[in-house]
Every structure is written in C-alpha cells, then in structure tokens.
Amino acid sequence: MRRTVLAMALVVAAHGAQAADLPDLPILRGGFNDGVIPRWQGFYVGGQAGTGSSDMNFAGTTQDIVAKLLVNTAIENVGRVSEWPVMGKKSQRGNGAGGFVGYNSQWDDVVLGIEASYMHGNFGGSDSGTISRFFDAGGSTNFVDYTASSSFKIKDMGSIRARAGYAWGAFLPYAFGGVSLGRADVFKSATVSGTQVQIAPPNTVVPFSVSQTEGQSNRFIYGYAAGLGVDVMLAGGLFMRGEWEYLKFVGPIDTSINTVRGGLGYRF
C-alpha cells in the first residue's frame, strides 16, 4: 500500500514540474470577454437623408399688417380687427438630404465632440382663413370681413451642436444640443373689406376694402437644436448613423421641426 501511494505522489510531482515549464503564451492569459474599444477620435464626414414634420403657429402673423392698414379707424379702435384669430396652428411633412462633418475626442469609453449638420429639403407650410363679424362703431354698423394667408418655406436648415456619447462595443449612442440655423421664404397677406351703414337716416352705405402683401426670400432664421442618435462602426473608419433631431426656429412664424434620418460616414 505504501508503495502505491508513493508512486502516485511521484507521478503528480512530475506533471506539476512539466506544467511549470510551459511557455507564457498570451492565449493562455486573460478572459474570453476581453475586447477592443473602437477608436472614434478624429475628424469625420458623411451624408444623410431623412423625413419629418414641421409644426407652425400662424396666429397673429398678419396682425402688424392689419394694425397699420386700420390705424386711427373706428373699426380698429372698437372692433380690434387686427387681433382676430384668423389663422392658427398647422403641421406638414417634408423630406430632405444633406451631410455632416465633425470632430471627436475620446477618453476610454467617453466620446465628446462638435459637429455641423446640414439638410436641404421642403419643410414648412402655409395657412389661410377668413372671419366675418359686424358691430357698431363711429355712428355706423360695420360689416367686416378679414381674410389672411401666410406661408413659411424652409429650403435649407442645419445645426451646430456639441455631442456627448458613450462607446459600447461597436455602438456609440449620443446626445447633442446647440444652435439651429436656416434659410426660409416668408409670405403674408391680409385684406379687410366690408360695408359701413350709417345708423342715422338716410342710412348711407359705404363700402371699403384695404389690403397689403409682404414677402421676403432667403430670410435668415435661427433658434436651438437638440436630439439623440447612435453611430455604428462597420469596418475601418466607416460607420452608419441613425438620428432624431429637434429644431426650434424663432422669428416671424413660430416653427419647430422634428426629423429622423439615416446616414453613412467615414472617420479619418
């Protein structure tokens, strides 16, 4: 029995010495989950296309026109015609295509950068309406029709934004915020017409009509931008992108644009 135990001990000792003499190969070290974080740092450029909706508020768009047309008149002083809610909110879909360019800095998994994004398309919309009322003012009964129309067509829009993302494997989800910039054609028109019937005999009827149209092409508009997206590294520096962007424009017509877009880019 003692001889058997001694033989087994010698075999175990021999195998242990042989394992100690094995070379230190890298494949024998580390875990199966060790991976390489893709490098996002550097300049990049790409193209994109998308679709979205424009939400516009045309309320009060022609108020300044009508106030000037009816200044110091009885129907404006009493009826406040310029303040009538002849137009309201409208939504319209549009499509566009463009590109983007930017630069990323990377610290381990954290990626920060700045980017300029551009889209050319057909965003914006139009509205029109008519309101008819009658009231007494200036010794007459006034029958007034107020007709207005307005359009806001955005041909070029974009944003300059700061980005913050987190590299997760081949994916780079990110959020961004910045300023929105655009170029738009603005049009508005108003007509106030009707009749004034004198209350006192002989009840004279006096028709009236005043109108004005204003327009401006290639007007510069601006506001702010925000959104979310994800870049996916494909091979080398080639990556694809999915993104949602919200643009808010302040100016003659309160407008916000939501777009979803896909793109393809290359990091140098």
Q: How do residues 103-140 score in pLDDT, each as one tens digit?
A: 999 999 999 999 999 999 999 999 999 999 999 998 99
For 258, counting Cβ atoms within 10 Å of its Cβ (0-12 exposed, 13-18 middle, 19+ buried), the class is middle
Contact 97, 51 (CB under 8 A): no
Instruction: Quote the CA–CA distance of 59 and 66 in Å, as a whole number.
Output: 13
Enter the pTM of the model. Answer: 0.81
Q: Where in the chain are the domains?
A: 37-267
Q: How do residues 70-113 score in pLDDT, each as one tens digit?
A: 999 999 999 999 999 999 999 999 999 999 999 999 999 999 99
Mean pLDDT across 199-225: 95
Please provide the CATH number assigned to the domain covering 37-267.
2.40.160.20
